[in-house]
């Protein structure tokens, strides 16, 4: 069973729909025991970093998610779910992230001719042979919606990057923990391929 973590942070239904399309047994849940006993865990999310961390704390999910990562359960963060895995965000000064991976979330700097949020299709540069990107061609286009971006502290965990006025760490992998800043569930065939690679781990 794949547990999709429910903490009132949007895009859960579209992630569920994509995983069902891949023939998976999926459960949307905020129950710690169900999450920890799942075969795989997905942390989706759209919205603000501070509100999301507040919701996770209120539901008692912060220690659950940290334990999920430590137990070696394959764990995928999507969009805001990627950002929450790291230590801090410019969006919510003073709010601690999950701290499962080292790095910080920075605001995309304003630049003439550049719309923020970064919204729409952008191509990926694939790096260091990430398992999510098996059979995904270099420069594949995926769908982004975000105003803040990841700067990971460990370059070797970055498996895909994108350019949008700044160098964006678009996907990371460390052990059993994976994350994408873009939305694979909204990225057509390429996105489904990425999700398929995750479910087949």
Which active-site residues does the annotation give? Answer: 79, 183, 185
CA distance 27 to 34: 9
């Amino acid at each position: 069973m794949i547990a999709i973590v429910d903490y009132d942070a949007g895009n859960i239904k579209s992630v569920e729909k994509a995983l069902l399309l891949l023939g998976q047994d999926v459960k949307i849940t905020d129950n710690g025991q169900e999450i920890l006993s799942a075969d795989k865990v997905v942390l989706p999310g759209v919205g603000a970093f501070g509100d999301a961390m507040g919701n996770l704390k209120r539901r008692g999910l912060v220690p659950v998610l940290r334990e999920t990562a430590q137990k070696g359960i394959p764990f995928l963060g999507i969009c805001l779910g990627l950002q929450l895995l790291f230590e801090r965000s410019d969006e919510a000064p003073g709010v601690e992230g999950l701290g499962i991976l080292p790095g910080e979330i920075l605001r995309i700097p304003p630049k003439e001719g550049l719309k923020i949020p970064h919204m729409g299709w952008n191509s990926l540069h694939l790096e260091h042979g990430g398992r999510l990107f098996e059979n995904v061609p270099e420069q594949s286009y995926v769908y982004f919606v975000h105003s803040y971006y990841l700067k990971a502290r460990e370059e070797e965990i970055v498996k895909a990057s994108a350019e949008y006025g700044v160098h964006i760490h678009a996907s990371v992998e460390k052990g059993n923990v994976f994350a994408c800043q873009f939305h694979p569930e909204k990225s057509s065939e390429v996105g489904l391929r990425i999700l398929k690679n995750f479910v087949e781990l």
